[in-house]
Structure 1
Amino acid sequence: CTERLGLAGIQPSVGSKGDSYDNALAETINGLYKAELIHRRGPWKTREAVELATLQWVHWFNHVRLLTPIGGILPAEAEANYWRQLADSNTLAEVST
Structure 2
Amino acid sequence: MAVRRCKPPKGLIFHSDRGVQYAAVAFRERLESHGIQQSMSRKGDPYDNAVAENFFSCLKCELIHLKHYPTRASAQADVFAYLEAFYNTVRPHSALGWLSPSQFEASLLAPLAA
Q: Which residue of 2 aligns with 1:67?
A: 92
Structure with a larger share of its residues in helix: 1
Amino acid at match of 1:52: A
CA distance in 2, matches of 1:28, 1:74: 14
Pairing 1:17-96 to 2, within 5 Å after superposition: 17-18=42-43, 19-40=45-66, 42-59=67-84, 60-63=86-89, 65-67=90-92, 74-84=100-110
Q: Which residue of 2 aligns with 1:94?
A: none
Q: What is the deviation of 1:25?
A: 1.2
> What do you get for the CA RMSD once the two structures are aligned?
3.3
How much identity, in percent, do the aligned residues show? 25
- Structure 1: segments with no counterpart, 5+ residues: 88-97
Asked if 1 retains the 8 angstrom alpha-carbon contact of 2:41 and 2:48, the reply is yes
- Structure 2: segments with no counterpart, 5+ residues: 1-19, 32-37
After the TM superposition, which segments of 4 or more aligned residues of structure 1 sit over 4 Å from their partners? 68-71
Aligned length: 81
| Greater Rg over alpha carbons, structure | 1
Structure with a larger share of its residues in strand: 2
Which residue among 7, 10, 28 is the counterpart of 2:28?
10
Q: What is the deviation of 1:78?
A: 2.9
